[in-house]
A and B are shown apart, each in its own frame.
Chain A
Amino acid sequence: MLRYALKRLLSLVISLAVASVVIFMVIEVAPGDPAQFMLGLNAQPDTVAALRAELGLDLPKWQRYLSWAGGMMTGDFGMSYTYRTPVSQMIADRMWVSLPLALYALTLSTLIAFPAGIFAAAHRGGPGDVAVMGATQLGVAIPNFWFAMMLVLVFAINLRWFSAGGFPGWDGGVWAGLKALTLPAIAQALPQAAILARVMRSALLDVLGEDFIRTARAKGLSRRQALWRHGVRNALIPVLTIIGLQFAFLLAGAIIIEQVFYLPGLGRLIFQAISSRDLIVVESVVMLLVFAVIVVNFTVDLAYAAVDPRLRNRT
């Protein structure tokens, strides 16, 4: 098990190194000079050159890569070209919105999907199953921005339970922060929950058809006991895969929901940075998201091994 974990860790480090090079190169080949962009089209060539020197843009590429990558490891992400503030500070502020939102949404999605999926599988073909499957069909089909608008309409404008948007920060207390994130989290979670519930159901149905479920029944376990003791854990492998993918999506792909609810999250930051050619911010946020995805995959790999003993001795 330790060996397996170390191997996964090694592959994590290699993935990160490769990803950082790729991101750096892709951004380098993108057209547009940040110094030119910051100074406007009418700037004097020597002013632009001076700014390029100040930003370090005139150094060779490999030197810029090393200073960027090295800086990131020590938490120094460089200065934003447009805002002239440390990138690390900008990202940290946004991270405190995006990460809790993603975790909140993922928790909600799991809490909805597991019971729904297990219930549907246990009552396969019955009215409960049909109802759950119908609801998930709807959940997959409804676009999340439309659903977000409906949530705002009902809970913010009519019932006035939540505010329609914005984020007060965590200084006002955990509850105030969570409350502001609730509607966005629900809007994010529901489509994910619908997908996850379907995966849970079909994975569990596959497992319930296995021979060892029959063995369990022959021991004297009831249908329910066999499902809980032998079914659920075996069904977790495909479910964990989907959860990992969903977390990455929730973290990076929240831009629409952030826009709908006026949340200062990573999605909006990267959008603004791209439109203003703030390459250093784009690089840093993308790298951070890649880092998050790779760490999530690493965690999922460890979870696989915890669930399934057959994977522990794998290389």
Chain B
Amino acid sequence: MSLLSIENLSLSIHGTNILRDVSLRIEPGEIHAVTGESGSGKSMTAFTVMQLLPNGAKASGRVMLGGDDVLQADEARMCSLRGARVGMVFQEPMTALNPVKTIGDQVAETILIHGAMPRDAAYARAREVLQRVGLPEDRFPLSRYPHELSGGQRQRVVIAIAIALQPDLLIADEPTTALDVTTQAQILDLLKRLVSEDDMGMLMITHDLAVVADMAHRITVMRHGEVVETGPTAELLRNRRHPYTRMLFEASTHQVNLPPLPPPAPLLEARDVRRSYRLPRTRLLEAPGEFEAVRGVSFTLNAGERLGLVGESGCGKSTLTRAILGLEPLQGGEILLNGAPIRAQGREADAIRRSMQVVFQDPFGSFNPRHRVNRLITEPFHLLPDPPRGAAREAAISEALHAVGLSPDDARKYIHEFSGGQRQRIAIARALIIKPDLILFDEAVSALDVSVRAQILDLLADLCAQYGLAYLFISHDLSVVRSVTDRVMVMQAGEIVEEGITEEVFSNPQHPYTRALIAAAPVLDLEGAA
């Protein structure tokens, strides 16, 4: 008998169909990855197994967890299954733990709530489990609170909670999506080890095909709530029978064709840029300490050049980005755009700002929902001494929307009428409308599905060819940076540790940190699988 067998599962929430005829099985010791783009229903499949669905959910079919059909089980039965027979790991480790309870209490609670053992034994087990997930007691005592741990360490605690009672099945919903690549590699190794040691089955939900290819024994590809294709990993990677699977894999290894570089002429210059923050005073009369987020960064971005900036969270890349935008005061050095320092106030600041625009990560949070698209994308016009009016303004709006592949009719719509990818196009249109020399892309494609991401990257390449656009592309995603930049800088602890032609840096990294980053990043190697 399979550990988990889902047969013809259909699910609707308040009458909207979410899943249709989903079937899959997991055997002990098997890692089964469910992948697909957002809205494919992969997470809902996991939550159906846990019966942690939102209100108004109606499921039909059979979901057999060992001998129990969870669709028929009452709430009391489900409470006894959750945590004991099936454990779950979530995407966001920063918020998955209760901030006011110690990690020891939170791990032991899984054991105590099921009455599995007396209090002392439960805490002894908690200690053991934390040790197993790589948090030994001498360095991470049970009395630690979540805020005293890093993201990766917190994810280890979440895993400890999930495996404390050695469940048969572990469900991991995007367990490494919120983590840095080096941390991701460690957590994936840990999960693999736990699965093989305990002979658990694992249902792994992820959108990242490179992770899937590395981890899973079997893959199920989903789209719009239906299973598109399923099979053993090697076979599925080799054959990719279904056109959607093929599209998905091609999109995630998508390469764009950047136009050739114009002759070098400096556009943006950073010279020994320093930015430090005052730390809170620890003693009354002593000077407060300082944290140097950016320590003496220098680089030049030439006109028409596509420059990448990579690094893990906390390396200072966001601070540097904000400094370039003139949003952070500098403690040393200077940043010049077209030869003029960008920290200037007043009219000169406007002149500088209009030659530089930015596109942010979150396509949902970076627009005022009460304004129409025409007002949103003309926002940069306030930087112009004489903004276009009337017909000229309409023409500019149409041109910008057209340039990003949208229709001029979209100008009258509100932002909620668009998908994530379309919103990111609108963000690019907003940046383009005053014809800047430079655009900063701050994790601009990180929140997008692979197929949408591929389209946006193509759009960038087109815009480069059309407008001679230069950009600084800031991202944690190495494969994307590799494909859309000419030159790349690697940042660690506030410093640029390596810089060079993108292809050379990736194929022959010099700095140990760059090597570690590239080694940790999972790679989808379709040629190797074929």
Determine if A211 is an interface residue (Cβ-Cβ < 8 Å): yes
> In whole angstroms, how far apart are the Cα atoms of A307 and B101 in the complex?
10
Contact (A212, B110) CB under 8 Å given A218-B88, A309-B147: no
> In whole angstroms, how far apart are the Cα atoms of A56 and B95 in the complex?
63
Determine if A221 is an interface residue (Cβ-Cβ < 8 Å): yes
Point out the residue from A220, A310, A315 that lies within 8 Å of B114, measured CB to CB: A220
Say yes or no: A220 contacts B79, CB within 8 Å.
yes
Say yes or no: B88 contacts A315, CB within 8 Å.
no
Contact (A211, B90) CB under 8 Å given A220-B80, A222-B79, A309-B147: yes
Contact (A219, B100) CB under 8 Å given A211-B92, A211-B95, A310-B147: no
Point out the residue from A218, A225, A309 that lies within 8 Å of B100, measured CB to CB: A309
B409 to chain A, nearest CB (A): 37
Collect the chain B residues with CB atoms within 8 Å of residue A314's CB: 280
Say yes or no: A215 contacts B90, CB within 8 Å.
yes
Determine if A28 is an interface residue (Cβ-Cβ < 8 Å): no
B102 to chain A, nearest CB (A): 8
Point out the residue from B76, B83, B90, B114 that lies within 8 Å of A214, measured CB to CB: B90
B 46-61 to A, binary, CB cutoff 8 A, 1 in contact else 0:
0000101000000000
Point out the residue from B83, B92, B99, B101 that lies within 8 Å of A219, measured CB to CB: B83
Collect the chain A residues with CB atoms within 8 Å of residue B114's CB: 220
A61 to chain B, nearest CB (A): 32
Collect the chain A residues with CB atoms within 8 Å of residue B90's CB: 211, 214-215, 218
Determine if A93 is an interface residue (Cβ-Cβ < 8 Å): no
Contact (A220, B83) CB under 8 Å given A212-B95, A315-B281: yes
Contact (A215, B100) CB under 8 Å given A220-B114, A310-B145: no
Say yes or no: A309 contacts B145, CB within 8 Å.
yes
Collect the chain B residues with CB atoms within 8 Å of residue A210's CB: 95
Collect the chain A residues with CB atoms within 8 Å of residue B147's CB: 309-310
B 215-231 to A, binary, CB cutoff 8 A, 1 in contact else 0:
00000000000000000
Collect the chain A residues with CB atoms within 8 Å of residue B84's CB: 220
Contact (A218, B113) CB under 8 Å given A211-B96, A233-B100, A308-B99: no
Point out the residue from B88, B96, B162 that lies within 8 Å of A212, measured CB to CB: B96
Determine if B158 is an interface residue (Cβ-Cβ < 8 Å): yes
Say yes or no: B99 contacts A215, CB within 8 Å.
no
Say yes or no: B145 contacts A219, CB within 8 Å.
no
Determine if B82 is an interface residue (Cβ-Cβ < 8 Å): yes
> In whole angstroms, how far apart are the Cα atoms of A291 and B82 in the complex?
52
Collect the chain A residues with CB atoms within 8 Å of residue B83's CB: 218-221
Say yes or no: A234 contacts B98, CB within 8 Å.
yes
Chain A contacts with B in 275-315, Cβ cutoff 8 A: 307-310, 314-315
Point out the residue from A212, A219, A309 that lies within 8 Å of B113, measured CB to CB: A219
Contact (A216, B98) CB under 8 Å given A211-B90, A309-B147: yes
> In whole angstroms, how far apart are the Cα atoms of A315 and B95 in the complex?
23
Point out the residue from A212, A217, A307, A315 that lies within 8 Å of B98, measured CB to CB: A212
Collect the chain A residues with CB atoms within 8 Å of residue B98's CB: 212, 215-216, 230, 234
Point out the residue from A211, A222, A230 that lies within 8 Å of B75, measured CB to CB: A222
Contact (A219, B109) CB under 8 Å given A212-B95, A310-B147: yes
> In whole angstroms, how far apart are the Cα atoms of A230 and B50 in the complex?
19
B205 to chain A, nearest CB (A): 14
Collect the chain A residues with CB atoms within 8 Å of residue B96's CB: 211-212, 214-215
Closest residue of chain A to B78, judged by CB?
A220
Collect the chain B residues with CB atoms within 8 Å of residue A222's CB: 75-76, 79
Collect the chain A residues with CB atoms within 8 Å of residue B99's CB: 212, 234, 308-310
> In whole angstroms, how far apart are the Cα atoms of A222 and B109 in the complex?
13
How many residues of A are in contact with the other chain, CB < 8 A? 23
Point out the residue from B75, B76, B162 that lies within 8 Å of A218, measured CB to CB: B162
B 224-240 to A, binary, CB cutoff 8 A, 1 in contact else 0:
00000000000000000
A contact face: mostly helix, strand, loop, or mixed? helix
A47 to chain B, nearest CB (A): 53
Closest residue of chain A to B85, judged by CB?
A220
B267 to chain A, nearest CB (A): 43
A252 to chain B, nearest CB (A): 32
A264 to chain B, nearest CB (A): 43
B 4-37 to A, binary, CB cutoff 8 A, 1 in contact else 0:
0000000000000000000000000000000000
A239 to chain B, nearest CB (A): 14
> In whole angstroms, how far apart are the Cα atoms of A216 and B81 in the complex?
13
Collect the chain B residues with CB atoms within 8 Å of residue A214's CB: 52, 90, 96
A 205-242 to B, binary, CB cutoff 8 A, 1 in contact else 0:
00000111011111111100100011001100000000
> In whole angstroms, how far apart are the Cα atoms of A307 and B162 in the complex?
26
Chain B contacts with A in 90-127, Cβ cutoff 8 A: 90, 92, 95-101, 109-110, 113-114
Collect the chain B residues with CB atoms within 8 Å of residue A219's CB: 82-83, 109-110, 113, 161
Collect the chain B residues with CB atoms within 8 Å of residue A315's CB: 280-282
Determine if B363 is an interface residue (Cβ-Cβ < 8 Å): no
Closest residue of chain A to B107, judged by CB?
A219
Collect the chain B residues with CB atoms within 8 Å of residue A216's CB: 98, 109
Determine if B494 is an interface residue (Cβ-Cβ < 8 Å): no
Determine if B311 is an interface residue (Cβ-Cβ < 8 Å): no
Collect the chain B residues with CB atoms within 8 Å of residue A230's CB: 98, 101
Determine if B87 is an interface residue (Cβ-Cβ < 8 Å): yes
A35 to chain B, nearest CB (A): 45
> In whole angstroms, how far apart are the Cα atoms of A233 and B92 in the complex?
22
Interface centre among B75, B101, B114 (most CB of A within 10 A): B101
Say yes or no: B95 contacts A221, CB within 8 Å.
no
B59 to chain A, nearest CB (A): 17
Interface centre among A233, A308, A309 (most CB of B within 10 A): A309
> In whole angstroms, how far apart are the Cα atoms of A309 and B97 in the complex?
13
Collect the chain A residues with CB atoms within 8 Å of residue B76's CB: 222
Say yes or no: A218 contacts B282, CB within 8 Å.
no
> In whole angstroms, how far apart are the Cα atoms of A230 and B145 in the complex?
14
Say yes or no: B97 contacts A215, CB within 8 Å.
yes
Say yes or no: B52 contacts A218, CB within 8 Å.
yes
B283 to chain A, nearest CB (A): 10
B 477-501 to A, binary, CB cutoff 8 A, 1 in contact else 0:
0000000000000000000000000
Collect the chain A residues with CB atoms within 8 Å of residue B75's CB: 222
Point out the residue from A211, A220, A234 that lies within 8 Å of B110, measured CB to CB: A220
B400 to chain A, nearest CB (A): 38
> In whole angstroms, how far apart are the Cα atoms of A229 and B109 in the complex?
10
> In whole angstroms, how far apart are the Cα atoms of A212 and B147 in the complex?
13
> In whole angstroms, how far apart are the Cα atoms of A229 and B76 in the complex?
18
> In whole angstroms, how far apart are the Cα atoms of A240 and B84 in the complex?
36
Collect the chain A residues with CB atoms within 8 Å of residue B161's CB: 215, 219
| 19 A–B contacts from the bound complex (CB under 8 Å) | A211-B92, A211-B95, A214-B90, A215-B97, A217-B52, A217-B82, A218-B87, A218-B90, A219-B110, A220-B79, A220-B81, A220-B83, A220-B114, A221-B113, A230-B98, A233-B100, A234-B99, A310-B147, A315-B281
Where the two chains meet, the residues of B that have a C-beta atom closer than 8 Å to any C-beta of A are 50, 52, 75-76, 79-84, 87-88, 90, 92, 95-101, 109-110, 113-114, 145, 147, 158, 161-162, 280-282
Where the two chains meet, the residues of A that have a C-beta atom closer than 8 Å to any C-beta of B are 210-212, 214-222, 225, 229-230, 233-234, 307-310, 314-315
Identify the 10 closest CB pairs spanning chains A and B, nearest first. A220-B83, A219-B83, A211-B95, A218-B88, A220-B82, A212-B98, A219-B110, A309-B145, A315-B280, A211-B96
* Extra contacts besides A215-B88, A220-B110, A222-B76 (7): CB < 8 Å: A215-B97, A218-B52, A219-B109, A220-B79, A234-B99, A308-B99, A315-B282
